[in-house]
Structure 1
């Protein structure tokens, strides 16, 4: 009987029951959450501040990140459909950090999260811009010289065509 009811339905993906503390970024704030089960397509999560259905969230566990949309919500529990396939084993095996990661906003912090600091990137972009300006100035000067030579050649040709009969006449009289 159950098999007859399931015709046409895709079998449900295996869920891995877990209790994993994590942090969720929603809006402009981070809140603590607990992941209760995982599959490669999503997760069941609990939080004191459960987001509304349709909200996009980012959940982090160490270096692992789950980005998805809330597809259902009931009380403090909600289900997330992940944007991509989740590596369940990597999320489960990810060690919990001993302390909260440092942030660039921490007072007195010189911590830089980027692989390449912004100042270096800005300097590289400024050098590229200056090289582009220099190249465009050289190219513009070359085009101007080429056009000037073409115009001078055309003018010389026209002057020769106009004066050539006159000089031929003068030469024949001498």
Structure 2
């Protein structure tokens, strides 16, 4: 398949052609292919693919998508007649993330709280093990210290 699209790797948009598309990534080609590790945005009409370049050979490159791709929607999407909206456009409320910033921040906060709880429980467990070990050591030392005089008294009786 040869699907025309546009690619944004930073300050400008470039024409690209999608040669192969799967739910996890795509094979693309353009005149000035981005380097491996570059994060980019591909637009086909209103469909957006955000991903990272995982390989490059001459003008061809492969990307790994940030999320799962709807292959049928991308293939059947008509190409826009004008330049796509950018997040920097004034008055633009366009969200290109697969998850809104508020949802992502809430998920990070939940993960942080779960990590804090786990680390507090782990820390408490380590403290408990150390305290029990110290108490056991102290008990054996006191037993040995007191048992010697009592053994002497018992042997004399």
Correspondence for 2:34: 56
- 2:133 corresponds to 1:155: no
Correspondence for 2:108: 125
TM-score scaled by structure 2? 0.57
Correspondence for 2:78: 95
Question: Quick one: which of 84, 93, 99 aligns to 1:116?
Answer: 99
Long gaps (5+) in structure 1: 1-14, 46-50, 72-79
Q: Partners of 1:130 and 1:101 in 2: how far apart?
A: 38
Q: CA RMSD in A?
A: 4.1
Q: Partners of 2:155 and 2:149 in 1: how far apart?
A: 10
- 2:126 corresponds to 1:143: yes
Q: Partners of 1:150 and 1:105 in 2: how far apart?
A: 60
User: How far did 1:141 drift?
Assistant: 1.3
Tell me the matched-pair count.
132
User: How far did 1:151 drift?
Assistant: 1.3
Q: Partners of 1:130 and 1:114 in 2: how far apart?
A: 24
Q: Partners of 1:22 and 1:149 in 2: how far apart?
A: 66
User: How far did 1:21 drift?
Assistant: 7.1
Residues 103 and 109 of structure 1 are in contact (CA less than 8 Å); yes or no, is this contact kept in structure 2? yes
Higher normalized contact order (CA 8 Å, seq sep 6+, divided by chain length): 2
- 2:62 corresponds to 1:83: yes
Residues 104 and 110 of structure 1 are in contact (CA less than 8 Å); yes or no, is this contact kept in structure 2? yes
